[in-house]
Amino acid sequence: MQIKDLHISPPLFLAPMAGVTHSGLRTIIKECGGVGLLSTEMLSARRLPNENATLSPLLIKSPIETPMSYQMLVSDPDDIPAAMEALHRYGAQAVDLNLGCPAPAVRRQGAGSKLSEDLDLVRKVVSTARAATDLPLSAKIRIGTELNREKLQNFCRMLAGEGIDYLIVHGRLQKEKFCRPPRWEWIGVAKEAVDIPVIANGGIFTVADARQCLDITGADGLMLGRAAPQKPWLFAEIHHQLYGGPVPPPVNKPALYKRFIDILEATFPAGRQIGRTKEFSHYFARNYSFGHHLGSRVQSCTSMEQVHHVARAFFMLQEPEACTQAWPAI
Ligand SMILES: Cc1cc2nc3c(=O)[nH]c(=O)nc-3n(C[C@H](O)[C@H](O)[C@H](O)COP(=O)(O)O)c2cc1C
């Protein structure tokens, strides 16, 4: 997929996820292969100009993490020009506008899904962002507050009309929880309305899901959220099976987990490592039938040293051979 000067190949996107989509996860995904565009988590437009890109866990990145989109959380269009300037300085290759997040803390600021309820304000946000950057610009939306074909399509047309280059659609209504199956057919409704590429998001956990989601939505690409920290190798598998990419090498899960914590220890400020490790472990543990042991033991750790011990002990029980290869005794 070509968006302005940016070549996104394969059209597989990492979803922005607060506390999850950071340098550690992005690096292991990139090392596994198959991802076309990485993402930050949502970044407050108001705070962006004052962030320290080398110290903030939101902005730390390594040279391998490319190409990368930065997601902006906006409530006031006046914050956009300075925020966009900061993103240009930080080396953003694409910018995404968060128009879908239903989290109460985000809505209270007037951002995310709250912003998308005020059409005039959304229009202003998008046109201001468009005027402030030549980078590829996207918007990430949910399918609305209710199932309304016309409303959804008009909204998508308005976004495209204001100049976004591609649209990301999470196939759930604003109030729907993640446990509910996504409504992929409604992503297809959005796709029918616009000529720009549409990226489908929500509920893709396997290669079969990816295939089915593309079939149902007719989308131009896919965005993976929770599957990314659970199976960082899934992009490579989808790339291989759906887009003719190379056969992915066998996965060594203990090695991948260890690589993740090693990266965090090497690149994140000490106080910022353990929270991210707990968050990641919560997802990664789902690869094992007794994964809750990993999840809960890591949750109770107070140091990264403890994490090494409890995680290695867990993997030695689950996959002794793979673990011994990857993780020398401590
Ligand atoms: C922990 C977590 C944090 C998230 N943070 C963001 C965010 O910062 N910005 C955003 O647009 N969506 C955010 N989302 C939503 C995801 O980007 C994605 O739309 C959602 O998880 C559905 O995709 P999935 O089924 O592949 O996980 C978050 C989701 C989760 C689970």
Question: What are the pLDDT digits (tens) for 143-196?
Answer: 999 999 999 999 999 999 999 999 999 999 999 999 999 999 999 999 999 999
Give the span between the Cα atoms of 129 and 84, in whole angstroms: 8
Whether 210 contacts 242, CB under 8 Å: yes
Q: How confident is the model at residue 330 (pLDDT cuts 50, 70, 90)?
A: confident
Which listed residue (101, 156, 301, 323) is catalytic?
Answer: 101
> Cis omega before residue 67 (within 30°)?
yes
Whether the CB-CB separation of 125 and 77 falls below 8 Å is answered with yes
Q: Rounded to an integer, what distance in angstroms lies between the CA atom of residue 26 and that of residue 68?
A: 9
Instruction: Write the residue with the smallest CA distance to atom 23 of ligand 1.
Output: 202
Give the integer Cα–Cα distance in Å for 4 and 219: 19
Q: Is the pTM of this model over 0.75?
A: yes
pLDDT at 54 over 90: no
User: Residue 131 has which token pair?
Assistant: 């005027």
Region 223-248 average pLDDT: 98
For residues 119-148, average pLDDT:
97
Q: Is the CB of 15 under 6 A from ligand 1?
A: yes
To the query of whether residue 101 is one of the catalytic residues in this protein, the response is yes
Averaged pLDDT for residues 101-108? 92
Summarize the confidence of residues 238-253 as an average pLDDT: 97
How many angstroms separate the CA atoms of 235 and 13, rounded? 9
